[in-house]
Amino acid sequence: MHQSICSFRFLLICLLLLSIAACQRAYKAPIEQLQKSTAAATTAISTYYNALNQQERDLYFLTLLLNPGQRVEEVNAQGKETPLMADAFDPAAVQARIALLAQLSLYADNLSALAGNEAPKQLRTNMAALGSSLGAIQTTFADLQRQRADEQAAAYVSPIGTLIGIVGEAALANQRDKAVRQAILQGEAPINQLLDFLTKDLDRYVFLAQKTGDDQKLTQLMVAYNNLANRKAMPHEELKKRLAEIQRAAEQLRLTRTNHPSDVLRALKKAHVALIGVAKQTSTFEQFQSTVFAYEAQVDTFLKAAQRINELRKADHP
């Protein structure tokens, strides 16, 4: 009888361990998908961010090219620095947003590792490194607020601090199944806040600047072409070259209008909300995976558009 009870207890323990392992594995696969797509999205969005100042310069020189009467100057008549030397967008502020996006991808990577079978020592090392990186970014945003008049920077400081605490707790956890769930639940507010702030900044700065610049470029090219006094007498190849440039500018504007970088982060937030639902047992893994697939599709669409826009830019500025 005693042997039967011991066997039954052993079976229960085995089933419990298998259940915990299955739970961890169930989290691991979709979180891995989330991380890979976020890494790809970070690359594409970074391209947009990094191109902001160059786009302003390209537009400035296009204006000079199409209006030969204008002078090349460092400071315009209103006393404002021109894009010749000045950056329209603070590079430090741009890099802070890009760095935060990259760290959110690493955070997802560490969650995936926490849900897997990676060596505890290496996992703790990676978590500690992530915490240090987030701390450096938090300091950067605080400096941007104090020293560089970045009005939006202050909003990032608190949720990044909360995330640092979550990472620190997860690094010290012994029961990884509980640690995964706890990290997901505790990360609900700070992750959602950071995604909301990044979304607003992408709409306010990146998308608006990109759309305005592309619109101005197309308008200037069209006006210059339509105002050519001797268009009928111009060589066919010259007309063809000008029309091809207008065609590229029009395609670029169409792509910009229909592909918002912020839509990628909105899709990421939906996937994150679904992950929270799984941890709270208000959503199924299937529902979470569905949002991850939708996020992957959004990232893929945006990546293709970003790559094409980059090709069009290089055609005009090889």
Q: What is the per-residue pLDDT across 197-226, written as a single tens digit (0 to 9) for each? A: 999 999 988 899 999 999 999 999 999 999
For residue 26, the model assigns a pLDDT of: 60
For residue 175, the model assigns a pLDDT of: 72
For residue 111, the model assigns a pLDDT of: 83
Q: Of 28, 21, 37, which Cα lies nearest the Cα of 111?
A: 28
For residue 7, the model assigns a pLDDT of: 45
State which residues of the chain have pLDDT below 50.
1-24
For residue 181, the model assigns a pLDDT of: 82
For residue 13, the model assigns a pLDDT of: 34
SS (H, E, C) 133-193: HHHHHHHHHHHHHHHCCCCCHHHHHHHHHHHHHHHHHHHHCCCHHHHHHHHHHHCHHHHHH
- Output DSSP code: residue 281: T
Rounded to two decimals, the pTM is: 0.85
Type of residue found at 107:
Y
Q: What is the per-residue pLDDT across 18-32, written as a single tens digit (0 to 9) for each? A: 333 444 456 677 788
